[in-house]
Amino acid sequence: MNLLWADPSNGAAGDMLLGALLDAGADRSVVAAGLRALRVEPIELQATEVRRHGFRATKADVTAPETTTHRGLPDLLAIIGAAALPAAAHDLAATAFTRLAEAEARVHGIPVTDVHFHEVGALDAIADVVGCALALHDLGLLAPGAVRVVGPVAAGSGTGRSAHGRMPLPAPAVLEILTAAGAPMAAHPATMELCTPTGAALLVALATAWGPPPAMTARAVGAGAGTRDPDTHPNILRVLLGTGAGAAAATDWSATELSQIEATIDDLDPRVWPDLLERLRSVGAADAWCTPVLMRKGRPGQVLTVLAGESRIDLVCRQIFTHTTTLGLRIHGVRRLHLRRDEVKVTVAGQPVAVKRGYLGPDLVTVQPEYDDALAAATATGRPVADVIDQARREATEK
């Protein structure tokens, strides 16, 4: 089993992760060839040895012409889809860009389809995301059963500049990405941007677990340098690569501490419930559902249950008080265990179907096609939806 531990305790950016993976042994020529396959302006990759606060590291630099093209998520997905990348590398890059788009949409309060990447859509960011995906694939770290653990992320503090002017740090999109993934964050004395949105999206896309290094037999260490060399700390992201069949037990699943928020309601118009559940998910609830119960005087009611991280509790409670008739809420802590997972796209009779896969250690134990995609494929082809689901499951299992 191949294992990776990434250490973003001094921050993370796309070029830092790419430099670390190249430093750990990823073949630069393979990565460069994949970047040249992108149907965009010419992109060249260089890797040079530098010093950061006295420590050696590899700096990954992308040479690309300036572009004024503002690309949205469909544009970026089309670019990587047309590049004939390895399937696992394509899926990781697509996941990272989707995380970025979802975070930007939440920050600006707009639909994902309306997000147009400015800084994120620049060619160097595209190269960083695709380059990291190709490097991970070359190192065997996207193979089924590979374990990729990420330590606590230092995000930074203070203020910075963006296409939207001055903004507080950590950047809003960074907080959205890390919060949605339940990622641990680390304190850091530096008052500067330490984690970029691209860096956060890549860490979340590749992580199968969060925490300290897993048990492994180490075989390579890589250090990737950021652009700046501040006096406060080495601006470096480290990766540790190794193997070990015994490490799976420690990372069979991930654990997240959440709060469970409940209300019992018997006087709400039932037509409100679907919209309410969607509202709760839209403000960052990890899950939300209703359970029918009998209440006082035999009246039918619903127990509303919501799972949310610490940073989302107030938003969730505000939505419940605003859109229901309840006068009080019950809140207690719960611990959620969840399998390592990924999502792949398969094709059934020419129609795309997304499939979620779950792993218990190295073993693939759950393969579940998205029903809406399967129904659309069944409608387009005239096949029974059950047949589409079965074929999509087979394709994803073999991928």
- How sure is the predictor about 102, in pLDDT bands with cuts at 50, 70 and 90? confident
Position 379 scores a pLDDT of 95
User: In the chain, at which residue ranges do the beta strands (DSSP E only) sit?
Assistant: 2-7, 44-52, 55-63, 71-72, 116-117, 147-150, 153-154, 158-162, 165-169, 185-186, 209-210, 217-225, 236-243, 253-265, 287-294, 300-308, 330-348, 351-360, 363-369
62 HSE (CA, 13 A, CB side): 28
Position 120 scores a pLDDT of 46
Position 117 scores a pLDDT of 63
In this structure, what is the dihedral angle of CA atoms 187, 97, 73, 46, given to the nearest 10 degrees? Answer: 100
Position 254 scores a pLDDT of 74
- How sure is the predictor about 25, in pLDDT bands with cuts at 50, 70 and 90? very high
Domain 338-398 in CATH: superfamily?
mk0293 like domain (3.10.20.300)
**Which residues in the chain are classed under CATH 3.10.20.300?**
338-398
Residue 214 DSSP symbol = P
Q: Is the model more confident about 246 or about 378?
A: 378
**pLDDT, the chain, mean:** 89
Average of pLDDT values for 184-199?
92
Please determine, for residue 28, whether its predicted confidence score (pLDDT) is greater than 90. Answer: yes
The region, left, alpha or beta by phi > 0 then psi within -120 to 50, assigned to residue 25 is left
- How sure is the predictor about 250, in pLDDT bands with cuts at 50, 70 and 90? very low
- Per residue in 332-378, pLDDT tens? 999 888 887 788 889 998 899 999 998 887 788 999 999 999 999 99
- Per residue in 301-334, pLDDT tens? 999 999 988 878 888 999 999 999 999 999 999 9
In this structure, what is the dihedral angle of CA atoms 59, 63, 68, 69, given to the nearest 10 degrees? Answer: -90
Please determine, for residue 156, whether its predicted confidence score (pLDDT) is greater than 90. Answer: no
- Per the CB < 8 A criterion, the answer to whether 126 and 170 are in contact is no
Computed on alpha carbons and rounded to an integer, the radius of gyration of the chain in Å comes to 22
3-state secondary structure of 390: helix
- Per the CB < 8 A criterion, the answer to whether 200 and 185 are in contact is no
Q: What is the DSSP string of 157-209?
A: -EEEEETTEEEEES-HHHHHHHHHHT--EE--S--SB-B-HHHHHHHHHH-SE
- How sure is the predictor about 249, in pLDDT bands with cuts at 50, 70 and 90? very low
Phi first, then psi, for residue 252 (nearest 5°) are -60, -30
Helix axes 197-206, 172-181, angle to 10 degrees: 10
Please determine, for residue 118, whether its predicted confidence score (pLDDT) is greater than 70. Answer: no
**Which residues in the chain are classed under CATH 3.30.70.1380?**
254-328
Question: 2.30.130.10, 3.30.70.1380, 3.30.420.40, 1.10.4190.10: which CATH number matches 254-328?
Answer: 3.30.70.1380
Please determine, for residue 145, whether its predicted confidence score (pLDDT) is greater than 80. Answer: no
Q: What global pTM score does this model have?
A: 0.67
Please determine, for residue 121, whether its predicted confidence score (pLDDT) is greater than 60. Answer: no
